[in-house]
Amino acid sequence: MKIVGSIYRDMVVSAACCLDNNKEVVNNLNVFPVPDGDTGINMSLTMSGVRGDYNTFQGTLGETAQKAANLMLRGARGNSGVILSLFFRGIAKAWKDVENADCDEVIQGFKRGVTEAYKAVMNPTEGTILTVMRVMTETAEDAYQKGVIKDVSELLPFMYKAADETLQRTPEMLPVLKQAGVVDSGGAGFLCVMEGMVKALEGNPVAAIEVKAAIAPAADFSNFSTEDIKYAYCTECIVTKSDKYAGEDTADALHQFIMKLGDSVVFVDDAEIIKLHVHTNKPGKVLTEALRYGSLYTVKIENMKHQHSNLSQESAEAAPAEAPAEQTAPAEEVSLEPVAIEKKYGFVTVCMGDGIRDLFSDLAADSIVSGGQTMNPSTEDIVNAVEQTPAEIVFVLPNNKNIYMVSEQAARIVDSRKVVVIETVSVPEGIAAMLSFDESASEEENVAAMKEAVSNVTTLSSTYAVRDTEIGDTAIKAGETLGLYNGKIVCTSDDRVACLEGLFSKVDGASIITILYGEGANEDEANHVAEIMAEKFPGVEIMVLDGGQPVYSYIISIE
């Protein structure tokens, strides 16, 4: 038996479904009890693109593997998602000119996948998804060389068993896993991937399970006016590229065109298709321009004003939509040149919370990507933000340890401008980096200054525990307030302010303190917290701001 393109397509789609079906199980294996992007969700979203584009997988094994890898790389979320996408990217590289794969080629593909995945991690830790990938592949290669395995139909099930056995040993490799009584969550997610691939190879691919969502209170649209909707039509389409435009990154002119016609733009330019989404008042112009690049595979246009009118039960006398003739009008002559480079430096930053967004805007961030804990942006999100920044050199501030690797991957994809990722793992670090920026300085000088500024920031934060667990000698109960010092849990309490006081006791000194209060907190409590800090640090400048961030009731910057 050999793996050909169509079989591999079924394998990766089955893997994506298996992972999606088990994402909550994987999430629950996370050792750290803080609400975060969640491993299962990130890995599932990373692979979700192969499910949506099932019918576009055509050609040889090499072509199919490349298509799958591209979709995963652009959809990668979180560190676990990046590692998974790079594993499949390595497979695609090994199979570039391969039409079908036997045992030797499968093993070589997986070995290249492991190599690519390890490249993404500076200091790999044993007992993680990387270990499961590596030991599985090494065990399979050894068995094949000894003649234990003779066919692909035997190889993949053997790999799955080896991955499972390695996963069960991860608690012995990583003490924190043993203490929590769980296996590595990323490794568990990868085991789901292998299970899906094996089942498809055996002719029983995993299908996605339809889960009915719990009934939730309906959103209240009564305080929002239909007239506040600037762009009326939600326009989406998929274009099958003509031979002239076949290949990746060949439709940038179309991207720039729709950018000028509306907002909420999502644009994916792949080798064979273009997927776009835009809110606009001129859907006809969008579709007419899109037709220049090939044929329309799917089209969806929704009148958002009409939808809102129905939702808010407004009267039938609402203003009529624009004339349908607009949809067939010829496109105007609009410059199709890429976004011009208007300045030397620009900034893309990632954050959540209206107040924090405003703060970064005031610091002159060019593009702000919504994301952070519980919502990790994809590689594609970062790529789009960078490409919309009219600067020769774009600094990216991920502001979260789980977004740094995604940002690094985005930097490798963008070739229209230079991208420099500054390793900021918290909002205070991102703010400090921007405050240290000097437009008149060189790139090297600015990078050095930003890194120095980041190193001088201490980040305190408070959130809540999502599960019972133990971290070191600390027993944690679900619902308790957690106090984090530079991302590490150092105190817990049933009382939020008491927990913050425990955090403050860990700080030796300060010159500037900024308190960003968010979900669960309010201005009065935040001012009370500021008073407590003023007593501990007399004479220090203290600012209190409504950050509006979810998950974290407080994010406190100490410099």
In this predicted structure, the answer to whether residue 375 has a pLDDT above a threshold of 50 is yes
Rg (CA), the chain: 25
In this predicted structure, the answer to whether residue 131 has a pLDDT above a threshold of 80 is yes
List pLDDT tens digits, range 253-263. Answer: 898 888 888 87
In this predicted structure, the answer to whether residue 223 has a pLDDT above a threshold of 60 is no
In this predicted structure, the answer to whether residue 143 has a pLDDT above a threshold of 60 is yes
In this predicted structure, the answer to whether residue 62 has a pLDDT above a threshold of 90 is yes
What percent of the chain clears pLDDT 70, i.e. is strictly above it?
Answer: 87
In DSSP terms, 397 is beta-bridged to 349
Residue 327: predicted pLDDT: 30
Which range has the worst mean pLDDT, 42-46, 246-250, 453-457?
A: 246-250
Which range has the worst mean pLDDT, 184-188, 321-325, 405-409, 541-545?
A: 321-325
Q: Tokens at residue 79, please? A: 């560190």
Residue 153: predicted pLDDT: 94
Mean pLDDT for 511-523 is: 93
Q: Give which of 272, 201, 295, 206 is closest to 58, Cα–Cα.
A: 272
What percent of the chain clears pLDDT 90, i.e. is strictly above it?
Answer: 52
Q: Give which of 293, 289, 285 is closest to 240, Cα–Cα.
A: 293
Residue 423: predicted pLDDT: 96
Number of H helices, E strands in the chain: 20, 18
Residue 253: predicted pLDDT: 87
Q: Which helix (H) or strand (E) holds 264?
A: strand 262-269
Residue 374: predicted pLDDT: 67
User: Which one is predicted more confidently, 362 or 31?
Assistant: 362
Residue 338: predicted pLDDT: 40
Mean pLDDT for 89-113 is: 94
Do residues 263 and 339 lie in contact, with contact meaning Cβ atoms separated by under 8 Å? no
List pLDDT tens digits, range 153-204. Answer: 999 999 999 999 999 999 999 887 887 788 999 999 999 999 999 999 999 9
Mean pLDDT value across the chain: 84
User: Which one is predicted more confidently, 209 or 135?
Assistant: 135
pTM assigned to the model: 0.69
In this predicted structure, the answer to whether residue 267 has a pLDDT above a threshold of 80 is no
List pLDDT tens digits, range 201-220. Answer: 999 999 888 543 333 333 33
Do residues 93 and 116 lie in contact, with contact meaning Cβ atoms separated by under 8 Å? yes
Q: Tokens at residue 432, please? A: 């400090």
Q: Give which of 35, 33, 92, 16 is closest to 376, Cα–Cα.
A: 35
Residue 227: predicted pLDDT: 52
**Cα three-residue angle 510-516-521, rounded to 5 degrees:** 125
In this predicted structure, the answer to whether residue 509 has a pLDDT above a threshold of 90 is no
Q: Rounded to whole angstroms, how far apart are CA atoms 7 and 69?
A: 15
Q: Give which of 277, 318, 305 is closest to 221, Cα–Cα.
A: 305
What amino acid is encoded at 538 in this protein? P
Q: Tokens at residue 162, please? A: 């080896």
Residue 306: predicted pLDDT: 54
Sheet containing strand 233-241, strands side by side = 262-269, 273-280, 233-241, 294-303
List pLDDT tens digits, range 285-327. Answer: 888 888 888 887 677 776 765 544 544 443 333 333 333 333 3
